[in-house]
Amino acid sequence: LVQRAVKSMNSRLSELRQMFKEMQLDDDEKREEAFQGFNEYGLCFDYVPKGTFGDQKRSYFRYQISWGGPSEEIRFFTDETLEPTKIEFWFLDWFCGHGIKLSGRNLETALNIWREFKDNETVEYEMQEALA
């Protein structure tokens, strides 16, 4: 499971890294295609309050990439100002899963994802919706 998780993480974050690279291009058409690709890439971005799942001790924001068997998601754990304090990639295959704390280029890619959702106020909106 660990090897599958690492392989999945590297593949997904490489694809996302390429999208963010293209989102910075001077070519308007390619930049727009990259933005559209990012907007269609994940299934959802949502807030998962503490206690949603069994022994879950902390709330987190989830960028869900795939669902089913297996599922892939990036979890953003934040402080009270909604700044990430820890970011993990999770690979979930039915009743077992493996999380990997992100670092290096993968962490920077995840922070780009976070900034994209934070800048358009999706972070605050999803938290308010989940707690309403």
Tens-place pLDDT, residues 12-57: 999 999 999 999 999 999 999 999 999 999 999 999 999 888 888 8
Question: Measured between alpha carbons, how far is residue 24 from residues 12, 17, 34, 107 in Å?
Answer: 19, 11, 9, 18
Task: Give CA–CA dist 19/96, Å, rounded.
Answer: 30
Retrieve residue 109's tokens.
């890619």
Indicate if the pLDDT at residue 72 is higher than 90: yes
Question: 78 — phi, psi (to 5°)?
Answer: -125, 165
Tell me if 45 sits within 8 A of 126, measured CB to CB.
yes
Question: Exposed/middle/buried for 69, CB within 10 Å: 0-12, 13-18, 19+?
Answer: exposed
What does the pLDDT read at residue 3?
95
pTM over 0.85: yes
Range 115-119 average pLDDT = 96
Q: Where are the domains of the chain?
A: 2-131
